[in-house]
Amino acid sequence: MADGVGRLPGVGPKRAQDFAKLGVESIQDLVTLWPRRHVDRTVLTPIWQLRPGVHATVRARVEAAEMRFPGPRRSYLKVRVADGTGTLEVTFFHAAWLKRQLVPGADVVLSGRVEAFRNRLSMTHPEVEVLETGQAPRLGLIPVYPLAGDLKQRFVQELAERVVPRWAAQMADPLPEMLKKQEDLPERAWAILHQHFPVNADELERSRRRLVFDEFLRMSLAVLWLHRTEPGVEAPALDTANRLVSRFLDGLPFQLTTGQAGAWEEIRRDLSDHRPMARLLQGDVGSGKTMLAALTMVSAVGSGYQAALMAPTELLAEQHFLLFERLLSPFGVTVLFVTGRGRDRAALKSRLASDEPLVAIGTQALVSEGVEFGRLGAVVVDEQHRFGVRQRAQLGAKGLFPHMLVMTATPIPRTLALTLYGDLQVSQIRGLPPGRQPIATHHVPMKDRRDAYLKVMESVRQGRQAYVICPLVEESEESQGRAATLLAEGMQKIPGWRVGLIHGRMSAKDKSIVMEAFRDGEIDVLVGTTILEVGVDVPNATVIVIEGADRFGLAQLHQLRGRVGRGQHASECFLLADPSTPEGEARLKAMVETQDGLKLAEHDLEIRGPGEVLGVRQHGVAGFQLANPLKDLALLEHAREVARAILTEDPELAHDVHQGLRTWVFEALEAALPGHVLH
């Protein structure tokens, strides 16, 4: 690549690889690698002037540093620093690696909240920068960048300082001058530069407003553009009262709840129309969304069409496959499991491409990997918030406009839904099936961990089953899997326990063997990773233990807890943790206090922001990098109006002043839909 980051002095192949993990390949990517936040280091305070409760920055010298081990697997680093006016005690948890840098004599800059303990001033986990000999501390609003691999904060900061100012000036500004004036927006180059290096908070905010507006405007234009091409397309009008539907309903061991019945009425109205349905079905964990997926698909098959169900993970797809096979094959409905591999793939593909009515279940691979459907009438998407405009457009590009139902346990505000999915209708399942008991949720400090497991033992003795979720280690499924393996090995030694293990790195076949053994009651305790997070449904499992619970997001904890409380037996959830951050503590408290997914989502927003709420950690929401669609809602709505006005005035973006926008929007569409030329 001509503008690859590898071209920059100081960036060799290893660092280029680390940058690639952050999504940074070109120099332009680096220029828009936004700081996660800024540390306010506008003034240095001498230690004698520090007051408890305030945030301050101190320059000092390390006098002593010592690792302490108060318990098994617990350690912290205790450091004493002094600046000639006083001394300060500093504590870092889990920070053995810092010990090498914080040696006596090292010059450091520390930023954090000042605390007082037994009359001594202290800081816990401050920002720390170790100065090299003769190096001056940096002051001002210091950008803090996301890191990967061996990249060091200081290195990225200095690289950004060298690169951003020159390259920002060369980046295109797609907005027409008139629009900038009308919206009081600064130039894009200015905004980019000041996102990295603002002089004060006002500049940072003004820069952010411009960049967020850009993200929203681009997204809105792209969505509206796609929809512009859709009028005239038709979905099959399905017969939702066909014989298959009524036989299916009659065969169910229960009645639909009022909430399910209400949502079904709304869905059927859409399905029986030629306008392709685009409906978001929201319902808390355990509310019975799968039943509506079934009804939608049965309507299609009973009307002579195909239906597809997509799940976020292969594990869940397989669970759905087994369930639907059980539910539907008694009525002679063909249910196929479509994975990315497998020997019979060719045969499978030709069946899908025929006009045989059937149900196909798989992951997103169902639409993206060269799979053709002969007669697709309905698509159901389970728990996949990132599925939206893009996948609809992928289907559209194949000339398919089926009815589409997107199911989620996470409440999404309507405006956001509109922006992510286009013209989406929303249905809600209110309430849970009858007989559900609240899940008794306990926060258990690590010293009482044994007690939690004694409770598990008791339930197992009574014939119930349990999940044990391993802590997130470095946010990676791989290391979480290793932790799970260790934990399972330990538990297998407990007499009378049949322990199973499941994690993402196991083969699909092994995963499903374990899952089925658990479902059949041949395993008492299933130790696993977050791949158990969504959808898994084993009503006899009544206990879930979540290790290191403070490390999980609230939406995730709620989903995990939702794996129990799915049957008639009382269920319990044990959150094991000694939270090391106020956020972690707040999440545990929220979990103990409420079971209501909606309330938890609101909490989550307060505590963590929307990436977490939407279950798309780290990736940004729907391609947004700076924008926070929930918090910036007003700006989002406004950008959508601006986009609408632009396209009303110039539907083809053909005007000279719109050429920048046109290229920009087409780049976004091309990135979302590679290989499809859209006009």
**Residue numbers at the binding site for ligand ADP (CB under 6 A):** 254-257, 260, 283, 285-291, 433, 537, 539, 566
Question: Using the rule CB under 5 A, is 286 a contact of Mg ion?
Answer: no
Shortest separation between residue 255's beta carbon and ligand ADP, angstroms: 6
List 116's β-bridge partners, or say none. Answer: 121
* Least distance to ligand ADP, CB of residue 465, Å: 14
Between 46 and 433, whose beta carbon lies closer to ligand ADP?
Answer: 433
Maximum Cα interatomic distance, the chain, rounded to a whole number of Å: 86
Phi, psi of 517 (to 5 degrees): -65, -35
Q: What mask, x for binding Mg ion by CB under 5 A, covers residues 477 to 516?
A: ----------------------------------------
DSSP string, 167-236: HHTTS---S-HHHHHHHT---HHHHHHHHHS-SSHHHHHHHHHHHHHHHHHHHHHHHHHHHHT-TT----
Angstrom distance (rounded) from CA 233 to CA 400: 9
Identify which of residues 312 and 504 has a Cβ nearer to Mg ion in the complex. Answer: 312
DSSP calls for 228-273: HT-TT-------TT-HHHHHHHHH-SSPPPHHHHHHHHHHHHHHTS
Write down the H helix ranges in 562-628.
Answer: 582-593, 597-607, 610-613
Cβ closest to ligand ADP, residue 287 vs residue 391: 287
Closest CA to 187 of 173, 205, 208, 199: 173
Q: Determine the interface stretch with Mg ion among 77-85, 167-175, 527-535, 604-612 (rule: CB under 5 A).
A: 527-535
Min dist. Cβ of residue 388 to ligand ADP (A): 19
Going from the C-alpha of 622 to that of each of 273, 402, 409, 421, 625, the distances in angstroms are: 29, 22, 17, 10, 9
Closer to Mg ion at the Cβ: 90 or 267?
267
**Structure tokens that stand for 654 in this block:** 């053909």
Residue 308 Cα to chain centre, angstroms: 24
Residue 641 beta carbon to ligand ADP: minimum distance, rounded to whole angstroms: 35
Please state the closest distance from residue 613 (CB atom) to ligand ADP, in A: 17
DSSP string, 374-419: SSEEEEEEES-TT-SHHHHHHHHHTT---EEEEEESS---HHHHHH
Q: Which is nearer to Mg ion, 126 or 535 (CB)?
A: 535
Residue with Cβ nearer ligand ADP (404 or 444): 404
Binds 597: which of ligand ADP, Mg ion, none (CB < 5-8 Å by kind): none
Cα(63)–Cα(105) distance, integer angstroms: 6
The entry of Mg ion, ligand ADP, none that residue 257 binds, CB within 5 to 8 Å by partner kind = ligand ADP
* Binds 254: which of ligand ADP, Mg ion, none (CB < 5-8 Å by kind): ligand ADP
Min CB(186)–ligand ADP separation in Å: 46
**Which residue number, 88 or 429, has a Cβ lying nearer to Mg ion?**
429
Please report how close the Cβ of residue 320 comes to Mg ion at its closest, in angstroms: 8
Two structure tokens written together for 584:
């972690």
Q: Which is nearer to ligand ADP, 550 or 572 (CB)?
A: 572
Q: How far apart are the first and last CA of the chain?
A: 28
C-beta of 429: minimal distance to ligand ADP in Å?
7
Q: Which residues have C-beta within 8 Å of that of residue 147, sequence separation ≥ 6?
A: 22, 153, 156
CB of 225 to ligand ADP, least distance (A): 33
Contact of residue 287 among ligand ADP, Mg ion, none (CB under 5-8 Å per partner type): ligand ADP
Instruction: Tell me which H or E stretch contains 304.
Output: none
Q: Give whichever of 121 and 380 is closer to ligand ADP, judged by the CB atom.
A: 380
Q: What gap in Å lies between CA 669 and CA 82, rounded to an integer?
A: 56
Q: Which residue has the tokens 């499978």?
A: 348
Q: Which stretch binds Mg ion (CB under 5 A): 242-250, 532-540, 583-591, 603-611?
A: 532-540
Select 301 or 380, whichever has its Cβ closest to Mg ion.
380
Nearest to 453 by CA among 462, 444, 569: 444
Residues binding Mg ion: number (CB under 5 A): 1
**Closest CB to ligand ADP among residues 17, 255:** 255
- The one of Mg ion, ligand ADP, none whose footprint includes residue 357, by CB under 5 to 8 A per kind, is none
What tokens were used for 507?
A: 């083969």
d(CA 215, CA 217): 6
Structure tokens at 474: 């470095």
Three-class secondary structure of residue 125 per DSSP: coil
Report the residue number, 9 or 438, with the smaller CB distance to ligand ADP: 438
For the CB of residue 561, give the shortest distance to Mg ion in the complex, in Å.
14
**535 in contact with Mg ion (CB under 5 A):** yes
Which of the choices ligand ADP, Mg ion, none does residue 571 contact, using the CB cut-off of 5 to 8 A by kind?
none
Which two three-digit tokens encode residue 477?
Answer: 């499924």
Site residues (CB under 5 A) for Mg ion? 535
